[in-house]
Copies of this chain bind each other. A is one copy, B any other.
Amino acid sequence: MNLESYLAEQRGVVEAALERALIPSEGTPPRLLEAMRYAVFSGGKRVRPILAMAACAATPAPAARALPFGCAIELIHAYSLVHDDLPAMDDDDLRRGRPTVHKVYGEALAILAGDALLTEAFRVAAEGARAVGIDPVRAIEMIGSIARAAGAGGMVGGQVADLAAEGVAADASLVESIHRRKTGALIAAAVEAGATAGGVAGARRDALLAYGQSLGLAFQVADDILDATAPTAVTGKRVGGDAAHGKATYPSVVGLDGARHVARELLARCRAATDALGAAAEPLRALATFVVERAC
């Protein structure tokens, strides 16, 4: 398959859905909406909603059934970047080559825009569930699963552990534990949302979930490698920013070659899972390959 044209097409679908999710509404201060939109429409690759749709496409259901849940996850991802960049957290001025939200709108509005994006994510999931006609029991299951992935035992917990590990001697198991929560959980939730929206059970569901778990970790390992090696033009961030922050990363605990080895192992697991799913999982396979190979 041609991954590039597939991604461009799916990204168009996601952008249109996010546009519909972030329109002016009664009671929303225009400057708040502007800050939320600045955070969301910033050239992101939309990996999470595309994964949700690709996972759903590997079931008998149409891919679009997973779209509202993928968009909810993308809004959660966007809020997490806004809050991570705050002066009290990673204190970053630059994100995807542009000034961060608090640099443009001030700290107060950045905190509130993040809060609003996180809240609206659940509105989008709840309203979308009705719009795509999904079984409401499954929709509630998905909302719970997204909240667990994003919450205290998932993404937020990973960010707390990440901040606590700064400048501390970390080992590979601590780094894996941080990455699985901070990045992996939300990516795995996107794939799971696709599986749940598609209504598959048994071995096919298990294969999708295994893929999501491995890809979620692979994604962050690849990000670590790129942070340590790629120029700002590729990452939109300072080269070696993680090292400057004393961040716990795979290259810092197992070296660059070790990190590449881990990424390739995870890619092999993603491929094994997609092999079990057959031709309908081709986009999932191509996505995993792309994520890992650009860093290796």
Contact = CB atoms under 8 A, between A and B. Distances in A.
Interface of A: 25-29, 31-33, 36, 79-80, 83, 86, 88-89, 106-109, 111-112, 114-116, 118-120, 122-123, 125-127, 129-130, 136-137, 139-141, 143-144, 146-148, 150-154, 156-161, 163-164, 177, 181
A120 B139 CA distance: 17
Contact of A119 (B89, B109, B156, B164): B156
Given A140-B136, A148-B123, A157 B27 contact: yes
Given A119-B147, A136-B137, A153 B83 contact: no
B29 A164 contact: yes
A164 B25 CA distance: 18
Contacts of A160: 29, 31-32, 109, 112
B161 A147 contact: no
Given A136-B136, A152-B116, A156-B32, A163 B108 contact: yes
A86 B111 contact: yes
Q: Which 8 A-B pairs have the closest CB atoms?
A: A126-B144, A27-B153, A123-B147, A88-B107, A136-B136, A119-B151, A116-B152, A116-B156
Copy total for this chain: 2
A103 to B, nearest CB: 13
A88 B190 CA distance: 33
Nearest to A155: B119
A102 B54 CA distance: 41
Contacts of A157: 27-29, 32, 116
Contact of A111 (B89, B147, B164): B89
A289 to B, nearest CB: 29
A119 B26 contact: no
A120 B27 contact: no
Contacts of A111: 83, 86, 88-89, 111
Contacts of A32: 152, 156-157, 160
Nearest to A114: B115
A202 to B, nearest CB: 22
Nearest to A108: B88
A27 to B, nearest CB: 4
24 contacts: A25-B152, A25-B153, A27-B152, A27-B153, A27-B177, A29-B160, A29-B161, A29-B164, A31-B160, A31-B164, A32-B152, A79-B115, A83-B111, A88-B108, A88-B111, A109-B160, A111-B111, A112-B160, A118-B118, A118-B119, A119-B156, A122-B147, A127-B144, A130-B140
